[in-house]
Amino acid sequence: MKVAVVGAGIGGLCAAYDLVNAGSEVVIYEAADHVGGLASGFKDPVWNWTLEKYYHHWFASDKHILDLIEELGWTDQVIFPRPFTAVYHGGQFYALDSALAVLRFPGISRLHRLRLGIVVAYLKFVASWQPLEKVTAVSWMQKWMGEQAYKTLWEPLLIGKFGPYFREVNMAWMWARFKARTPRLGTFVGGFQTFVDLLSNAIQSKGAILNLSTPVYKIEPTPEGGIKLILGDHQKVFDQCLVTTSPALLSRFVPSLPETYAKGLLSLKSMGAVVLILALKNQLAESGIYWHSLPKDAGFPFLSLVEHTNYVSKEHFGGDHIVYCGDYLEPDHEYFSLSKEELLERFLPALKRFNAKFEASWIRNSWLFRTSYAQPVPPVNHSQSIPDMKTPMKGLWFASMSQIYPWDRGTNYAVQIGREAAQRMLMENEL
């Protein structure tokens, strides 16, 4: 079987890995000049490790990616520090990453803290997601967690993640966060880019062909039942093709998709992401906090401040203290058009709220990354709207983070959906 994989993110790479192991001829096409997709990283000349463009980590429960790493023999390259995460309330930061921390949190009354603990335990150990997707997260949490806990803890999270869509998000999405997340957070020695480069090399060593800086412009069916990829000045024909881009890009690549399927793709909503990364000469959060969750109504110009070197050692980054300032935003938000210097001007005054001694002279370097497709929006009964991986066009498949529902987007579920797509393609070839 001759297979094309469009997109060399983790989902596409994992599909290619299983396909080539099964004896398929695999060709990967990636528009960027590197592999990794949204999990890719970069490296400053003074660093030993790569740094993710968009902050990433694994949870101890991330079975799919940890099993793959074990299969590849790289488990000794995975580390699981225990960083501290905190929420902003009343002008201070409070840890909220353990049962004890919740019980100590002063933002809600003792009775509501106890109620919160019981409800979280129910979601983590008892509840199933299917009934929860029939109601919004707002209405369910207001009813069962109470208005005080909802307003203090969960409404800021929903608004920050989903902006104008926060009232539409169903409770199954929130359930998945309680179900799967752990306080210990994992990463790969050398950074995620080191991991995806190793994975890419392993796939190519088995015979797969990787084409970087090679965008696909159009995908068409052939009269013989194959799939034709138009690649600028030339074209290639394959037996099957897996596309791992966003739903909107798939609809653009394949204008001949049946109207119903294409409309379904375009009906899926998502938020974009903007991340400004700073390399500082001094530690910003002297408390040692790694992840700061920031409510929009507290006046911060971004949703999260993540001090990466409060998670892994600054020695991996030439002594730099690495800080992410990130936000989920609609793709037409002004942050997508402002320059890096303009965003710096917006963001820098807020850094004094984390450390009064902060000065702009602390900044050694900075980087700006943006993507219009970062966080799918799952409304009520979302499972009924997810497009099948097998498209109506014979031989054409689709696998993206819009289909990993009810789980939140992340590399673990990119592995899962990529490998699932490969298995379905192999089964189809046997029919």
What is the 3-class SS of the chain, one letter each residue?
A: CEEEEECCEHHHHHHHHHHHHCCCEEEEECCCCCCEHHHCEECCCCCCCCEECCCCCEECCCHHHHHHHHHHCCHHHEECCCCEEEEEECCEEEECCCHHHHHHCCCCCHHHHHHHHHHHHHHHHCCCHHHHCCCEHHHHHHHHCCHHHHHHHHHHHHHHHHHHHCCCEEHHHHHHHHHHCCCCEEEECCCHHHHHHHHHHHHHHCCCEEECCCCCCEEEECCCCCEEEEECCEEEEECEEEECCCHHHHHHHCCCCCHHHHHHHHHCCEEEEEEEEEEECCCCCCCCEEEEECCHHHCCCCCEEEEHHHCCCHHHHCCCEEEEEEEEECCCCHHHCCCHHHHHHHHHHHHCCCCCCCCHHHEEEEEEEEEEEEEECCECCHHHHCCCCECCCCCEEECCHHHCCCCCCCHHHHHHHHHHHHHHHHHHHHC
pLDDT of 31: 97
- The predicted pLDDT at position 222 comes to 95
Residue 41: the pLDDT is: 98
Which option is the CATH number for 98-180: 1.10.3110, 1.20.1250, 3.90.1580, 1.10.10? 1.10.3110
pTM over 0.85: yes
Residue 117 confidence (pLDDT): 87
Q: What CATH code is assigned to 2-79+189-269+382-430? A: 3.50.50.60
129 contacts: CB under 8 Å, gap ≥ 6: 172, 175, 176, 179, 406
Instruction: Return the domain boundaries, the chain.
Output: 2-79+189-269+382-430, 98-180, 270-376
pLDDT at res. 408: 86
The alpha carbons of the chain give a radius of gyration, in whole angstroms, of 22
What pLDDT is attached to residue 29?
A: 98
Determine the pLDDT at residue 78: 98
- Asked whether this chain's domains 2-79+189-269+382-430 and 270-376 adopt the same fold, the reply is no
Closest listed residue to residue 12, CA positions, set 400, 410, 427, 376: 400
Which pLDDT belongs to residue 182?
A: 87
Structure tokens at 355: 């450390």
- Which residue numbers in the chain have pLDDT < 70? 431
Instruction: State residue 181's pLDDT score.
Output: 86
Kindly list the distances between the CA atom of residue 133 and the CA atoms of 74, 91, 123, 405, in Å, as whole numbers in the listed order.
Answer: 37, 34, 13, 10
Segment 156-191, tens digit of pLDDT: 999 999 999 999 999 999 999 989 888 899 999 999
At residue 351, the pLDDT reads 97
Architecture of domain 270-376: Alpha-Beta Complex (3.90)
Which neighbouring-strand residues pair with 239?
none
Place of tokens 């009924």: 384
76, 47 contact by CB (below 8 A): no
Contacts of 421 (CB under 8 A, 6+ apart): 11, 15, 242, 389, 397, 399
pLDDT at position 206, please?
A: 97
